[in-house]
Chain A
Amino acid sequence: MGYISHLDFQRLWQRLFRIAGIEVEKTQGYNPHPKLRFALPLPTCFESENELMEAFLVEDMPSQQLVAALNSIAPGGLEVLGATLVPQSYPKLTGLVDALAYRVELPEKATVGLSKSGDVETKGGRRSIEEYLLNAEVQDRIMFFKLKVDNQKTIRPDDLVKHFMPQLDMGGVRFIRTAIYTEKRGLDLLPQGLSILD
């Protein structure tokens, strides 16, 4: 599942909702498409144990029914863990995320120490490790990162790993997003699964 692009992933969800017969509101404008949004896109070739999505349904639906309907047709590797009905006034999902957690599986034991000094070059510019790397741990060949998200700005774990271990062949590394955090906002939202807006 991690091998499809975010765009194709979005289209897959549109298709799944259509097959399940769940009507999703459409956006206005010249090219209307179903209102299905992800908290933060997952780069191609990354895997995830937890993703957040919001779906604007045309009609109310009990969460369990929604979860069951989608899971019954979802292809292998994709599972809806849960859903929460929230009111229209609920803030936009993308604005809620303030941190992401990753597990990184290296081909062999990590030999570098992780230091909080320095910057990482990302597509969006230079980001300071001290500011964005909230937590890091290394256990043998597994690394755990908790990375801050500020207004959708963050450091990608692959950029981080490349920074620490420039010689490493990235082909053998597995990146798994393990959690999406919305703590700071103090909102009662499941840190995992699907949220539905009516």
Chain B
Amino acid sequence: MWQKLRRILSRVEKPARYIGNELNIVVKPSSEVDLRFALAFPDLYDIGTSYMGFQILYDILNNIPGVQAERVFAPWPDMEAEMRKAELPLYGLESKTPLTEFDIIGFTLQFELGYTNLLNMLDLAGISPRARDRNVGPLIVAGGPGASNPEPMADFVDVFVIGEGEEVVAEIVHQVREAKRAGLSKAELLQCLMRVDGIYVPCMYTPQYDEVGYIGTQPTNDAPARVRKRIIKDFANFPLPKQLVMPLIQPVHDRVSVEICRGCARGCRFCQAGMLYRPVRERPQAKILEQSAQLLQCTGSPEISLSSLSSADYSDIEILVREMMDKNKVGVSLPSLRVDSYSVQMARLTGRKRKSGLTLAPEAGSQRLRDVINKNVRDEDIFSAARTAFENGWQTIKLYFMLGLPTETEDDIRGISLLVHGLEGLYREIHGHTKRLKINLGVSTFVPKPHTPFQWAPQLERESVEKRQRLLKELLRSRKFHVNTTNWSESSLEAALAKGDRRLGAAIYLAWKKGCRFDAWSEHLRSDLWKQAFVEAGIDPGTYTSRHLPLDQPLPWDHIDVGVNKEFLIRELHRAYNGKTTPDCTLTNCSACGICSAYALTPWKRGNN
């Protein structure tokens, strides 16, 4: 095995991606292993090693006696070609065991454009991508945000995990072990798994269609009508992993990521993560400080990232940052900050190098549109943040916007330009010139996502999107401004895969067969092949994405329950169209989204730490 591998490795880019042998990996002798679990990330090693979800599951699984968890990532096309030529099957990094010899392979569906990579990894392992062709071999499991609409991938995955995986992953291990012991068939194993909370077994459900489209999903036998997501209720006391695997090749940032809070109740209407990860649960400061000290020790990382969906909202975040810097003597970074001068103060506190620039995410160019999407950021906030930044030496600002939001008009696009020029004017007012000022804009195209108030909304069609992109670039033509937009082919594909039903599986299979891989990488996305695939599968992706769906129409993901009820989403959609905002329930009143009653929780308010 090694011989074959060695020959290949000298011919590929960054061979370290494929050798394992990193710091803090766990390799148990085979005599001590009765169950092998592969944690499979459907993208390149360089991207996947920073995925915290797998670090958490790796730690949990390897702490179960007899279980060996190993990591596997998608080989880059050069390595794939070599592997196929040498007939070297895809293997787990820890022991180099071929994936076919694993009991369970768990994928994470982080983004829709990674779907073809999942099929490709199965094929590279010598495993049939289609579930119905598999009667023996490892159980194929998938989780992550993509599992909240599992239907497009239902042809390829045996079992989906809906929600948070920390507890259910051990339950799956238990079921598989029992099934092995009792000599159960795959069908019998799936029956057992179906009864586990939070597990969706697609072959137990039959989607139905009429001439127009999807009309519902029929569970067979005693499959539950809806599958509800799992959550870690006692997140506050759930320990951080004791170790983190440190890659040998430099990841984008050399830092340890610590989850200080899970969930976000700000309720931005486009945001799927905000709905999927409710309820909001904070980790206590004392635990964060204590457990992260150990992580820093075993990784030797110079920096810690206090991560969550909205870190600056964490109760007494300033105290946590100060304590972290004093006690653990590390650099602290705070991703995802609020847009106001508070975030600049936080940035000063953490000593961010001013070279790296300040990032703010207004998302929309006008107050009107911001109210529609419930991004509660006012122009005054943006300007006061910018003023504080400029006065303290920041020269570069990065702004995130979305284009194609519901009710958007060209006036809103002009609003972006007004905002940017306003910032330029502010800088000039403070410094007398704008020689060193740089404003970078990341403008992505809106993709409506399941389980959000905007799930019924259409994606803006190509002509309008491209027209608005051109308009924005025209209005911001200057060496000081840099506008980055996303390609239509990428955004439209993402939308179709996000809102599709099970019929999409045929297109995904054909696209993969035709050679589609690494669709999230612009140099590899083959929209021509995807187009062919859709045509051959008899699917018009526009039917999923180009119309506003009727509010009473069944949705392909209705049988997946993320704890937030549909009435709430509809209410929020109406409020959006009326330009009414909804406040963060952890700061004021409950918005009756349903999550607390679904899990019998007392509504939690900030500051109650």
Contacts and interface: CB of A to CB of B under 8 A. Distances in A.
Nearest to A107: B7
Interface stretch (A7-15, A146-154, A178-186): A7-15
Interface in B280-308: 297-302
Contact of A19 (B16, B249, B254, B299): B299
Interface residues of B, number: 25
Nearest to B22: A75
Interface size class of A (residues with CB under 8 A): 20 to 34
Interface stretch (A54-62, A84-92, A119-127, A169-177): A169-177
A134 interface: no
Contacts of A173: 10
A128 interface: no
Interface string A65-108: 00000000101110000000000000000000000000000000
A15 B23 contact: yes
A16 B264 CA distance: 37
Contacts of B11: 171
Contacts of B298: 19
B250 A7 contact: yes
A3 B7 contact: no
A3 B19 contact: yes
B15 interface: yes
A4 B16 contact: yes
B590 interface: no
Contacts of B301: 15, 18
A1 B248 CA distance: 9
Given A171-B7, A171-B8, A8 B16 contact: yes
Q: Which of A7, A44, A173 has the most CB of B within 10 A?
A: A44
B23 A45 contact: no
A5 interface: yes
B260 interface: no
A76 B461 CA distance: 54
A8 B15 CA distance: 12
B300 A18 contact: yes
A14 B300 CA distance: 8
Contacts of A18: 300-302
A17 B8 CA distance: 32
Contacts of A5: 14, 16, 249
A44 B23 contact: no
Interface in B232-271: 246, 248-250, 254
A45 B15 CA distance: 8
15 contacts: A4-B249, A5-B16, A5-B249, A8-B16, A11-B254, A15-B301, A19-B297, A45-B15, A75-B22, A75-B23, A76-B21, A170-B10, A171-B8, A171-B10, A172-B7
